[in-house]
Structure 1
Amino acid sequence: MRVIICGAGQVGYGIAERLAAERNDVSVIDTSAQLIQAVRDSLDVRGFVGHGSHPEVLEAAGAQQADMIIAVTLHDEVNIVACEIAHALFNVPTKIARIRAQSYLQPQYQDLFSRDHMPIDVIISPELEVGEMVLRRIALPGATDVVRFAEGKIIMVAIECLEDCPVINTPLKQLTELFPDLPSTVVGVVRGDSLFVPHSADQLIAGDLAYVVTQKDQVRRTLSLFGHDEQEATRIIIAGGGNIGLYVARTIEQRQSRTRIKLIEDQRERAVRIADELRRTVVLNGSALDQKLLLEADIHDADLMVALTNSDQVNILSSVMAKGLGCKASLVLLNSPAYHGLSKTLGIDAYVNPRSVTISRVLQHVRRGRIRAVHSIQQGLAEIIEAEALETSPLVGTALRDLELPDGMRIGAIFRDGQMISPSGSVHIRPKDRVVIFAMQGAVKQVEQMFRVSLEFF
């Protein structure tokens, strides 16, 4: 696939890295010669210094032969114009744009990005995507990652196995026998520095991070089975009143009437503006690193500190301070992968990686075949994919126990007629079933082939 990426920042670089590793033909455009040089030096891609919205730059980057343009610069208007020019002058089939300004995304303007107006196929709003991820993590304490599939009916949760976890040191097939009515499947395990797909004879041990696929109404029971009975936070302090912080506070106000929120914002004008927008949230103006301000916010009585500023360092330090002052738990926004490994050492309970969230959203549209959703985990070491089975799929019509799935792949659930089906050995996949699959990086291409719209399997 030939792909043009406009923007070589963290998100653009991350997308280029993933696509280049999969041997796609990738061109990256950015106005910064320094960023383009970094891309050229470290990735097998072509780099172009210039404006992604300028026709001659797009032409030089190969727009005439491109299958897709992904515009993820920091400027919405550049992203929009780049997609329009790619459509009008070069007839690029798929156009993806990152849009940050919420005014473009109002429901009454939903026809704006249509083929008749601005021909953009996919709009990605990092603030909304990350905000929803933060809300899912708040709603399910004990889970270190939460992703929804099949209209929210199927959930994937990542759960840390603690020393007193009831399911450790027990073969996974035995868990199925002990809890036959629990539709939960362990599809992936992180142990130390390695990630692997477990077999039915494998056991979980203390310290493992288990990726579990289950039914929506069985998530809390699954967490409890793994030893996590944490109560949902009702007293929350949010550090950072940017787009994400405001979205999270506003949504909690709408969805959870008994949750009390205090929000800390260091820019006075912004603090005044969001205080006018929010109804029940107490907005405090100052630094989240100010111990006096944290005490004024009653940090010692808080259930959860959610640090959502633009600075990883502020997020980390404010969370460490909050825990030191008596806050029960912390959830932190971390952009830089360099800090992910340190989070546990520093006592941070959970983190959200905005770049990973955005890249997952893009991959959903890069993947070939009937791919409905993609979530990248462990910095791209694996993906959990929801795909629709076709008549031509080799998965259809054979009992799961008789399927010869490639190594590094495991089926987590099947969605049929609005219901989740656990992947027991006797189950047969039918056409139009939606299948949730965990795939290691090396097996992703094979998953795509299984769901391709073609007759190449006959």
Structure 2
Amino acid sequence: MKIIIIGDGKVGYSLAEQLSKEDNDVIVIDKDPDALRRANENLDVLCIRGNGVSTKVLFEAGIDEADVLIAATASDEMNMVCCLTGKKLGAAHTVARIRDPEYADELSLIKNELGLDMVINPERAAAREISRILRFPEAVNIETFAKGQVEMVEIKITDNMPISGMKIRDISDFVSSSILIGAVLREDEAIIPKGDFQIKTGDIAYIVGKPASITKFCRKIGLYAQKIKNVMIVGGGRIAYYLAKFLEESGMRIKIIESSHERCLTLSELLPEALIIHGDGSDESLLYSENLQEMGAFVSLTGHDEDNLMLALLAKQAGVPKVIAKISRNNYVNLIKSLGIDSIVNPGQITTNLILMFVRGLKNALGNPIKSLYRIVNNQAEALEFTINEPAKFLGIPLKHLKISKDILVAVIVRKNEIIIPHGNDSIKRGDSVILIAKNRQIFDLNEIISTEGSVD
């Protein structure tokens, strides 16, 4: 596919990097020569310096033959105009990043009126992910599939868990709950485990199943769900606003600390139920005077990764049960996890995943489309959801008789309201949603990785 990306910031660069790896023809447009230099030196993409609204620049990039135009500049308005112009000049599909909360209630109208195929709000998406984690505090991270019928929860295995030292095949019998351990991260290595794989202390395990089954599993291994009542947020930006709205719906009490007096006044108007405090969130005495140690959760959402990291460590030291930090740079992820911080959220990575899902769905629009896509296990694996709309040779054949590619796991089959953790005698039927976990591989179609005959590599 021919894909034009306007804006070479963190999201634009990440998209260009991933999409070029997937054998797409990627063109990046930006006015900043330094940003383009980095992409030109490190990625297999064509870089064009110029304004993404300019018809001359767009024609130079080949807009009339483009399959997808992605506008990810710092300006919402410019992104909308880029997409509108690109559509008029021949781009088949357009994607715009729109971040301002003032547009939040109008996104569907904007999408329809401008002919946009996808609108993404990174801060709102990040806030939704944080709210999911806070509703399930035992998890490092949590993703949803099949309209919430299936969850994938990331947990760290500790010494006191009875499954430490246990083989995968024995765990289901022990917990008497229909769950699946779909992937394991051990010492920075992603593993798609088989039945004889032994879980060890320190592993990060990815548990897949119905929400009720996962809750039962967590209780059985000693992770007790304790509802969070009070949340302290440092940083009053867009993510904090959206997060407070989501958490208020769950009945949590919110306290936001923000250094800008003007922003505090705005938040007080927008969030009348939340307590807004004007002050320096990096001031330890202020945090303790606001009862940091009594909070059920702490979320650091300042504009600086270093501050978020230090604040999260301070909250952890104060004994806050659940600590979440926003991080913008991927190279900090492993460091932060090694320091014991519970969860991290990267808005740029969330945005990249959503757009990747959209692009792959276009490649397979006539077949069995991708409904969900998450990059997991330090980006070494992906969890994907396909809906089986079209006939295929593998339908109705027991999984034990199919040839499935190496390092691919059929994790869950969703059949209407039935959630199936598949075994050898189960089969895939038309109309099913199928959730896969794949290591070091980009999948566009189930026919690529499932065969009824011969050997599949």
In structure 2, the residue matched to 1:329 is 322
In structure 1, the residue matched to 2:109 is 111
Q: 1:128 aligns with which of 104, 124, 145?
A: 124
Deviations 1:246-267 (A, max 9, x none): 11112212221xx322110111
Q: 1:185 to 1:205 in 2, by over 3 A?
A: same
Q: 1:126 to 1:293 in 2, by over 3 A?
A: same
Does the CA contact (< 8 Å) of 2:123 and 2:239 recur in 1?
yes
- The one-letter amino acid paired with 2:199 is L
Deviates more, 1:160-169 or 1:170-179: 170-179
Q: Are 1:228 and 2:223 counterparts?
A: yes
- The one-letter amino acid paired with 1:252 is L
Does the CA contact (< 8 Å) of 1:149 and 1:386 recur in 2?
yes
Q: Are 1:189 and 2:184 counterparts?
A: yes
Distance in 2 (alpha carbons) for counterparts of 1:323 and 1:381: 28
Q: How many residues align?
A: 444
Q: 1:219 aligns with which of 206, 214, 223?
A: 214
Does the CA contact (< 8 Å) of 1:413 and 1:423 recur in 2?
yes
In structure 2, the residue matched to 1:431 is 430
Q: Are 1:68 and 2:68 counterparts?
A: yes
- The one-letter amino acid paired with 1:265 is E
Map of 1:57-456 to 2, 5 A cutoff? Answer: 57-90=57-90, 92-106=91-105, 110-114=108-112, 117-180=113-176, 182-256=177-251, 259-367=252-360, 368-369=363-364, 370-442=369-441, 444-445=443-444, 447=446, 449=448
In structure 2, the residue matched to 1:456 is none
Distance in 1 (alpha carbons) for counterparts of 2:10 and 2:446: 27
**Gapped runs of 5+ residues in structure 2?**
451-457
How much does 1:394 deviate? 4.0
Distance in 2 (alpha carbons) for counterparts of 1:447 and 1:360: 19
SS class of match (1:48): strand
Distance in 2 (alpha carbons) for counterparts of 1:242 and 1:69: 28
Does the CA contact (< 8 Å) of 1:155 and 1:214 recur in 2?
yes
SS class of match (1:294): helix
SS class of match (1:210): strand
Distance in 1 (alpha carbons) for counterparts of 2:394 and 2:235: 47
How much does 1:434 deviate? 0.6
How much does 1:81 deviate? 1.1
Distance in 2 (alpha carbons) for counterparts of 1:345 and 1:175: 26
In structure 1, the residue matched to 2:453 is none
SS class of match (1:293): helix
How much does 1:378 deviate? 3.7
Distance in 2 (alpha carbons) for counterparts of 1:263 and 1:371: 37
In structure 1, the residue matched to 2:455 is none
In structure 2, the residue matched to 1:455 is none
Distance in 2 (alpha carbons) for counterparts of 1:245 and 1:233: 17
Distance in 1 (alpha carbons) for counterparts of 2:290 and 2:405: 53
Identity over aligned pairs, percent:
29
TM-score if structure 2 supplies the norm length?
0.93
SS class of match (1:261): strand
**Gapped runs of 5+ residues in structure 1?**
452-458
Distance in 2 (alpha carbons) for counterparts of 1:30 and 1:379: 29
Q: 1:326 to 1:165 in 2, by over 3 A?
A: closer
SS class of match (2:140): strand
How much does 1:230 deviate? 4.9
